[in-house]
Amino acid sequence: MKINITTRIFIGMVLGILIGWLFPASSTGFSGDDLAILSKIFLRLIKMIIGPLVFATLVVGIAKLGDFKIVGRIGLKTLAYFYFATILSLVVGLLVVNVMKPGEVMQLPLPPKGTDMGIEAQKMNFENFLTHVFPASFVEAMATNEVLQIVVFSIFFGIAVGSIGEKGKIMIKALDSLSHVMFKVTGYVMEFAPFGVLGAIAAVVATQGLGILAGYAYLILCFFGGLLFFLFVVLWGICLVMRIPYLRLLAHVKDAIILSFSTASSEASFPQTIEALKKFGCSERIVSFVLPLGYSFNLDGSMLYMTFATAFIAQAYGIPLSINQQIVMMLTLMITSKGIAGVPRASLVIIAGTLATFNLPIEGLALLLGIDQVLDMGRSATSVAGNAVATCVISKLEGELQLKPQAVVEADG
């Protein structure tokens, strides 16, 4: 009997925990940390296919839209929803940290001033954001896997292809074939996913140990509680309003969510999410347009983490933040955090910049570094669910969400 991918990933997670626990990084000889190479190989394979896949699917999707006005209309709806979801996720992060007060409750020893965390605080501004959005070279964007820049070039390219009539159809057909080839390659890569998951989990447990989870249990509970609230109150509420069967949607994207959780990478499940949303009933052209944008503009888990982490550090140092300061911080993050998906440890970089902007101790990030991988697992999975909902919402608004009759809202009551 063939074991499905979900079961194999769970097996990989369990084995990873056991190996990391039995062979900690401090032991002589083999340790679970040595298996991190498996995770690195898997994530490199995923990054290998994302550029061509995003380019091919997005260009075909835009070209099939045909009219530039249609592209503009869908684009405005998409960006409007992204900012709406961003505000909600930022607000949830602030609500959780203000209600649960993990920085005050835990009484953690504070890192000494000048602690080197290997993270450069960058005060993001509008100019930096714009220069990051527009690629200097499409080849460079593909080589460095800058998804947002690939998306921008693909939008221009797709509109141009769609505007030249019959000649453009040749290119559309070729890129459509390329997208099908890339999905086939994705299938091959996904066979390696359980090994990548095993390596990622084994390395985390071996280096951090299960003990760190106990020491930071309250903080982890607070943050994951916020993520669950966002998943099962905010996103479910949006789906109820839009008459989208949320539980059925989660059932379709569960494999993608589990993969992103176990690898702490939302990009790892990008190809799976595309296929799942098509099967759910979203229009192919909407999926091809909205989902790639979402991986740069709609990382709900990361947005929630930014306000949560910044306010947590302020609490830990006993620095009160007024309501006005928190609102300004939230609005600043709403603007400066867009398009950061390609930046390594992007959330921490933006948090460091925010701390510097509001004269909060940057050394406080050291309080989070030890468990950042664990927290990243939760925020990556949440971002996948958020992008799935975003794609369904835009498909619904465009009248292109085609569900089977028996699936329409019945599960959600």
Q: Give the pLDDT of the chain (413 residues) as one tens digit per residue.
A: 677 777 888 899 899 989 999 998 876 788 888 999 998 899 888 888 888 988 988 888 787 766 667 778 888 999 999 999 999 999 999 999 999 999 999 877 787 765 555 555 555 556 666 777 788 899 998 888 777 788 889 888 988 888 888 888 899 899 989 988 988 898 888 889 899 989 988 888 888 777 666 778 899 999 999 999 999 999 999 999 999 999 999 999 999 999 999 888 888 888 899 999 999 999 888 898 888 888 878 889 989 999 999 999 999 999 999 999 999 888 888 876 665 554 445 677 778 878 888 888 888 888 888 788 789 889 999 999 999 999 999 999 999 999 865 544 344 43
Give the pTM.
0.83
59 close to 154: Cβ distance less than 8 angstroms: yes
Q: What DSSP element (H or E) covers 162?
A: helix 147-163
Total domains in the chain come to 1
- 413 within a domain of the structure (yes/no): no
Q: Is 183 exposed, middle or buried (0-12, 13-18, 19+ CB in 10 A)?
A: middle
In a domain, 412, yes or no: no
Check residue 402 and report its DSSP letter.
-
Q: For residue 270, give both structure tokens.
A: 């990008």
Q: Of 60, 274, 286, which is closest to residue 173 (Cα–Cα)?
A: 60
Residue 23 belongs to what H/E stretch?
none
Query: Which amino acid is present at 185?
Result: V
Q: How far is CA 5 from the centre of its chain?
A: 21
Burial code (b: 16+ CB inside 10 Å, e: under 16) for 36-62 equals bebbeebbebbbebbbbbbbbbbbbbb
Does the residue 42 lie in any domain?
A: yes
Distance CA 227, CA 218 (A): 14
Q: Cα 267 to chain center, whole Å?
A: 7
Task: Give CA–CA dist 92/110, Å, rounded.
Answer: 26
The CATH number given to whatever domain includes residue 142 is: 1.10.3860.10
Question: Taking the CA of residue 138 as centre, how many other CA atoms within 13 Å lie in the half-sphere pointing to its CB?
Answer: 12
Structural domain of residue 54, as residue ranges? Answer: 5-407
For the CA atoms of the chain, what is the radius of gyration?
A: 21
Q: Is 282 helix (H, G, I), strand (E, B) or coil?
A: strand
